Structure 1
Amino acid sequence: MCFLVEGQRIEPGYVVERLLGEGAFAEVYRVRHRFMGRQAMKVFKQAGSGALMTEAVLLTRIAHPNIVRVFDAGTVATAFGERGFFTMEYVAGGTLYRLWATPRNRPIAVAETVRIIHQVSRGLAAAHAERPPIIHLDITPHNILIGPDGRARLGDFGLAKVARPLPGKARGQVTLAFAAPESMLGAVAESCAMDVWSLGAIAYLLLTDRHPYPEGASRRTRPVAPSALNSDADTRLDDIVLAALDPNPVGRTPNATVLAGQLADWGAGL
């Protein structure tokens, strides 16, 4: 099902170039604006503007070079009825998943892994610094974009929301491999520590080419240290990654600001 077709013109001034991909809730297209050049357009599959306004408004509150920028929002007529959309910066380099999945003989270099996770942490720190904090809740390698300049940007805030200090219904549609252990419980207090766990899981994957917890494995204890699987990692980096993966959110690295600082200190010590 494609809501837009190549060559379709959308006011004010967009031309659809091609479909980039789709998820459970939306399709993303590459479009060209007559003045501003190429952008990405996210078109929601369901009628109504609730999801559109939530994600677009949250993103406009976060201005950071490591967060995908939002430019415009509106509605578009499709073969399936009117749908909400917003446009954001188009990142030509592809996703972190694509970078990780590229065939190679060993894990991505440790310094490159730390650079990417540090950049994403800095962008996420801007969201966590909002009052109340904005938490992403679905950070995966597919939602991290790497530009031709090497700069990492965090996108897809479709499940993001302001932090909720009291327990409530668990979120649906999350990517389980990168979801904090407490997010799988029936009722949880959503916190910045959930996002930190996701970044810790991504860092572990990049460092070792393995998920910290294979499918079906218990998440009640910390996984094997990255340095046991990759001799280029050191014990200082082990401590940072394993603290981010602490099964207990109370003992976990509390937010992206702290994680970004730890990674910066590690880099400064090289």
Structure 2
Amino acid sequence: MRLLEEGQTVRDTYEVERFLGEGAFAEVYRVKHRFLGRQAMKVFKRVGMNLEEIHEMLGEAILLSRIGHPNIVRVFDANVLEAAQGTCGYFTMENIPGGAVQVAQRLAEARRKDPQVQLFPEITASIVGQDFMREGDVKYGIEVFKLVAVAYPDSADANDNLAGAYLKDGQKDLAKQHAEKALAILDSHKVPASSWTDTDEYRGEIRRDTEKILKQLAPGS
């Protein structure tokens, strides 16, 4: 039994138009906002969650809303609704199925069309990722840093951040891969260390950090 039915009104605001698809954890519907028009609504299947669990479930919406840029899927609302099965968390976004995966595809396509385009400010998204890491949300920190690396594949800074996040998550092979890539970018001297700064001091900081990561990954360390 689906969580929502066609024609149903959610929170006196959204009319459910049709079911779009589902994954292991959520169902996606096309809905029509009473004022703003069509959106996609992602409704999580798990019911009866407490506030902390709902916050965790809505992490994808929080991630996308914090970055906020024309090349990123826009999030409009995040809340809870009452389904027949119980209380569920949901968020609404642009009517583009795929969530973070679609974001990555959109960024990669934009980069292919124009290698010089600034998809979003690298430093802004990196700060968002670092905020997630400080808050202990390693999973979402990784997702942000992955998007930054897609948008800025030749950034030593982006690869260093991603390497550190993977290491903290215990994904050692990926940590090693991105740390080595960061060092290779620095050693090539062909591109800036990042899109926002290329000082000798910052290049040195990235180098020290990546070398520290690789040292931690070395056998017997």
Interval of TM-score (by shorter of Structure 1 and Structure 2): 0.5 to 0.7
CA deviation after TM superposition for structure 1 residue 32, in Å: 0.9
Higher helix share: 2
Instruction: Count matched residues.
Output: 178
CA deviation after TM superposition for structure 1 residue 43, in Å: 1.0
Determine the C-alpha separation between the residues in 1 that align with 2:97 and 2:43. 21
Tell me the residue number matched to 2:194.
240
What SS does the aligned partner of 1:47 have?
coil
Q: Percent identity over the alignment?
A: 25
Q: In structure 2, do the counterparts of structure 1 residues 44 and 122 end up closer, same or farther at CA, with 3 Å as the change threshold?
A: same
Give the residue type in structure 2 aligned to 1:198: K
Q: CA RMSD in A?
A: 5.1
CA deviation after TM superposition for structure 1 residue 46, in Å: 1.0
Given candidates 218, 222, 225, the residue that maps to 2:180 is 222
Runs of 5+ unmatched residues, structure 2: 164-171, 196-202, 215-221
Given candidates 141, 153, 163, the residue that maps to 2:135 is 163
Q: In structure 2, do the counterparts of structure 1 residues 96 and 74 end up closer, same or farther at CA, with 3 Å as the change threshold?
A: closer
1:109 aligns with 2:114: yes
Q: In structure 2, do the counterparts of structure 1 residues 134 and 23 end up closer, same or farther at CA, with 3 Å as the change threshold?
A: farther
1:76 aligns with 2:82: yes
Determine the C-alpha separation between the residues in 2 that align with 1:234 and 1:108. 21
Q: Which is higher, the Rg of structure 1 or of structure 2?
A: 2
Structure ranking higher on relative contact order (CA contacts 8 Å, 6+ apart): 1
Pairing of 1:60-209 with structure 2 (within 5 A): 65-66=68-69, 68-71=74-77, 73-78=79-84, 81-90=85-94, 92=96, 95-99=102-106, 107-112=112-117, 115-118=118-121, 121-122=123-124, 125=127, 127=128, 134-135=131-132, 163-164=135-136, 197-203=145-151
Runs of 5+ unmatched residues, structure 1: 138-161, 165-169, 180-191, 251-270
The TM-score normalised by the length of structure 1 is 0.45
Determine the C-alpha separation between the residues in 1 that align with 2:147 and 2:191. 18
Determine the C-alpha separation between the residues in 2 that align with 1:248 and 1:31. 49
CA deviation after TM superposition for structure 1 residue 69, in Å: 4.0
Give the residue type in structure 2 aligned to 1:202: V
Q: In structure 2, do the counterparts of structure 1 residues 15 and 21 end up closer, same or farther at CA, with 3 Å as the change threshold?
A: same
Tell me the residue number matched to 2:30.
30
Q: In structure 2, do the counterparts of structure 1 residues 196 and 6 end up closer, same or farther at CA, with 3 Å as the change threshold?
A: closer
Determine the C-alpha separation between the residues in 1 that align with 2:37 and 2:28. 16
Determine the C-alpha separation between the residues in 2 that align with 1:55 and 1:218. 25
